[in-house]
Homo-oligomer: A and B are copies of this chain.
Amino acid sequence: MSKRIVIIGGVAAGPKTAVRAKRLMPDSDVTLVDQDSMISYGGCGIPYYVSGDVPDEKELRSTSFHMVRDATFFENAKGVKTITSTRALSIDREKKTVTVEYVKTGDKSDLEYDILMLATGSEPVRLPLPGVDLEGVYTISDLHKAIEIKDRIAKGKVGKAVVVGGGAIGLEMAEALTDLWGVETSVVEFMDQLLPSAVGWSMASMLTKHLRDNNIEVFLGEAAQEVLGEDGKVVGLKTGKRTLEADLVILAAGVRPRSQLAVEAGLQVSKNGAIVVNERMQTSDPAIYAAGDCVEIMHLVTGKRFFAPFGSLANKEGRVAANNMAGIPTVFKGAVGSFIMKAFDICIGAVGLSLEQAKAEGFDAESSYTSPSDRAHFYPGQAVMCLELVFDKRTRRVLGMEGVGPMNDGLSARIDAAAVAISDGATIDEFYNIEMCYAPPFSAAIDAINAAGYVAENICDGRMNQISPQEFCRWMDDQSLYPDWLVLDVRHTKEAAPLVEKYPEKWLSIPYDQVRARHGELTTDKTVIVVCNAGSRSYEIQLFMGTVGKENYLVLPGGLNFIRRVGADWLE
């Protein structure tokens, strides 16, 4: 007998499951239901539609061969019955029916299923602020909102905008508004850094500086308190510290799983409101699958379930669900939260845990910080790529990696390779031998991720002693608090000169290749921080000074390549 498969949700996991299930079980009766009129769109493309990089919203919901993925397409090309503008109201698990309502008329009907799939996605966190209902206040919840926003901008209605929330979607929207439309844009983030759930201080600070360099105002550690309006229209945003004028306010304070239907049906849901599924994407009712932004999946580093609302994972989960529906036993083991984002001329990415997250999870965590070239340093167009590799000092396991690089695919290459290794539980000793394909136009003979592993090994084995870039900036910012230390700058004398001149009591200069001959000049017992551009010369000098009885030397890892990108008043 042919199976009746009903799938609720038509953006990513839903359509993927529907078409795969239909292909695997051609005689099944697959029905895809969505409350929206527009389905199967690339939600991650919304900022690029708003910016104008993608001229028409239809492109976000078209195939690579330029057919619009609407209900007719799913019916004709895929053989999937597709019911749009129809909301699922409730599930009767005993009768195996879903009651749905056609939103335009309120007409209700019951759909019978043998297998049900919940792909209900996520919804933006709605901040409980006064004024959020004013005209001109948006969340990025669907394509309709994106079309409205672009329409407002195109009509010249937006001169100033405020984005509330420094996560990826908010920042991508901020870039879209600034870069292509010239809207004066501010970002307000409640936490004291951007991307607080994705990266640590160094990378977040580099991003902040780059956004500011590109005319986005960034306010950190500020809570939005009220959206201000006149005549029902937004005119500004009030934070704890200031009032910002705005014709447009975008609330991008994160998303949460949309699981009400599951909750009401008595399915198991996590304390964060995500539907609980097993590795085969089944809910606590084996006849009901769930996938995409409405579920939690296994984090392959922590071993705990986590919320990972990525379109790429939704597709993978949906396909696994379809396989299992068709009797092909297939597991989705979990994820390590690979992430990447464009921001003007740079990109920022991460995988696994940040240092703070790793410590919070109880790991004996430490980071290596490196800033090598993204390709052979003699190859034209090479640029610095900053990486932070997070590892456990006891087990030597790699827990995460994050980075900032120029806007090309070089950082994603490192994040992707690291993701596979971290998923497999790689130690730093395995990590530093990862085989990256090498030719000078693409990489260096010692690739950036290998170098990150080398430094991690040197730290783990107690050879390299470091002060983190963040801590060093604290020391420099308020030198009076920490009086008993010096800097040894081992760059060329000319490079060191401006800082020697600026900090005559603090900043010493001996070029790297002269330290072996001149180390006798270094008689201080104060803590000495060794500084160069990338950190590698500093490490050699710290190690050498140890061999002549000087254990008071620390490396500034990542060197001034890090500090310049982070930005520091004391460096100017």
Measured CB to CB, the closest approach of chain B to A423, in angstroms, equals 7
Interchain CB contact under 8 A, A328 and B461 = yes
User: Given the known A-B contacts A26-B543, A316-B433, A438-B340, are A76 and B513 also in contact in the complex, defined by CB atoms under 8 Å?
Assistant: yes
Which of A45, A407, A492 has the most chain B CB atoms closer than 10 A to its own CB?
A: A45
Interchain CB contact under 8 A, B516 and A342 = no
Within the assembled complex, what's the spacing in Å between the Cα atoms of A440 and B43? 10
Contacts of A253 in B (CB 8 A): none
Contacts of A12 in B (CB 8 A): 445
Contacts of A420 in B (CB 8 A): 417, 420-421, 424, 434-435
Range of interface residues on chain A? 35 or more
Within the assembled complex, what's the spacing in Å between the Cα atoms of A461 and B491? 60
Give 1 or 0 for each of A129-158: 1 = CB within 8 Å of chain B CB: 000000000000000000000000000000
Contacts of A517 in B (CB 8 A): 76
Contacts of A311 in B (CB 8 A): 438, 445
Measured CB to CB, the closest approach of chain B to A473, in angstroms, equals 22
Interchain CB contact under 8 A, B537 and A65 = yes
| Chain A stretch 291-326: residues in CB contact (< 8 A) with chain B | 310-316, 319-320
Contacts of A310 in B (CB 8 A): 438
Q: Which stretch (A52-60, A82-90, A93-101, A269-277) binds chain B?
A: A52-60
Contacts of A251 in B (CB 8 A): none
Q: Is A229 engaged at the interface, CB distance under 8 Å to the other chain? A: no
Contacts of A417 in B (CB 8 A): 413, 416-417, 419-420
Q: Which stretch (A210-218, A236-244, A330-338) binds chain B?
A: A330-338
Q: Is A193 engaged at the interface, CB distance under 8 Å to the other chain? A: no
User: Given the known A-B contacts A60-B378, A319-B454, A433-B332, are A342 and B419 also in contact in the complex, defined by CB atoms under 8 Å?
Assistant: no
Q: Is A349 engaged at the interface, CB distance under 8 Å to the other chain? A: yes
Q: Is A514 engaged at the interface, CB distance under 8 Å to the other chain? A: yes
Q: Is A102 engaged at the interface, CB distance under 8 Å to the other chain? A: no
User: Given the known A-B contacts A424-B424, A442-B412, A544-B26, are A437 and B340 also in contact in the complex, defined by CB atoms under 8 Å?
Assistant: yes
Measured CB to CB, the closest approach of chain B to A212, in angstroms, equals 21
Contacts of A168 in B (CB 8 A): 439
Contacts of A557 in B (CB 8 A): none
Measured CB to CB, the closest approach of chain B to A312, in angstroms, equals 4
User: Given the known A-B contacts A312-B438, A442-B347, A443-B412, are A76 and B516 also in contact in the complex, defined by CB atoms under 8 Å?
Assistant: yes
Within the assembled complex, what's the spacing in Å between the Cα atoms of A149 and B65? 48
Measured CB to CB, the closest approach of chain B to A321, in angstroms, equals 13
Contacts of A432 in B (CB 8 A): 316, 319
Contacts of A376 in B (CB 8 A): 42, 44-45, 48
Measured CB to CB, the closest approach of chain B to A306, in angstroms, equals 13
Contacts of A341 in B (CB 8 A): 439
User: Given the known A-B contacts A79-B516, A312-B438, A413-B413, are A378 and B45 also in contact in the complex, defined by CB atoms under 8 Å?
Assistant: yes
Number of copies: 2
A350 nearest in chain B by CB position: B437
A312 nearest in chain B by CB position: B438
Q: Is A534 engaged at the interface, CB distance under 8 Å to the other chain? A: yes
Interchain CB contact under 8 A, B437 and A339 = yes
Measured CB to CB, the closest approach of chain B to A214, in angstroms, equals 16
Interchain CB contact under 8 A, B437 and A419 = yes
A420 nearest in chain B by CB position: B420
Q: Is A73 engaged at the interface, CB distance under 8 Å to the other chain? A: yes
Which of A76, A78, A320, A517 has the most chain B CB atoms closer than 10 A to its own CB?
A: A76
Interchain CB contact under 8 A, B419 and A64 = no
Contacts of A513 in B (CB 8 A): 67, 73, 76-77
Within the assembled complex, what's the spacing in Å between the Cα atoms of A419 and B431? 12
A interface residue numbers (CB < 8 A to B): 12, 23-24, 26-27, 42, 44-45, 48, 53-54, 59-60, 62-65, 67, 73, 76-79, 168, 172, 310-316, 319-320, 328, 330, 332-333, 335-336, 338-342, 347, 349, 351, 372-373, 376-380, 407-410, 412-417, 419-421, 423-424, 429, 432-443, 445-447, 450, 454, 461, 463, 491-492, 512-514, 516-517, 532-534, 537, 540, 543-544, 546-547
14 contacts between A and B (CB under 8 A): A44-B445, A63-B377, A77-B513, A77-B516, A319-B432, A320-B433, A338-B435, A340-B437, A340-B443, A407-B441, A409-B442, A413-B416, A414-B416, A416-B437
**Given A26-B543, A48-B379, A320-B433, 17 new contacts (CB under 8 A):** A26-B544, A42-B376, A44-B376, A48-B440, A65-B537, A78-B540, A79-B544, A312-B435, A315-B445, A315-B446, A316-B433, A319-B454, A339-B437, A342-B441, A408-B408, A415-B437, A419-B434
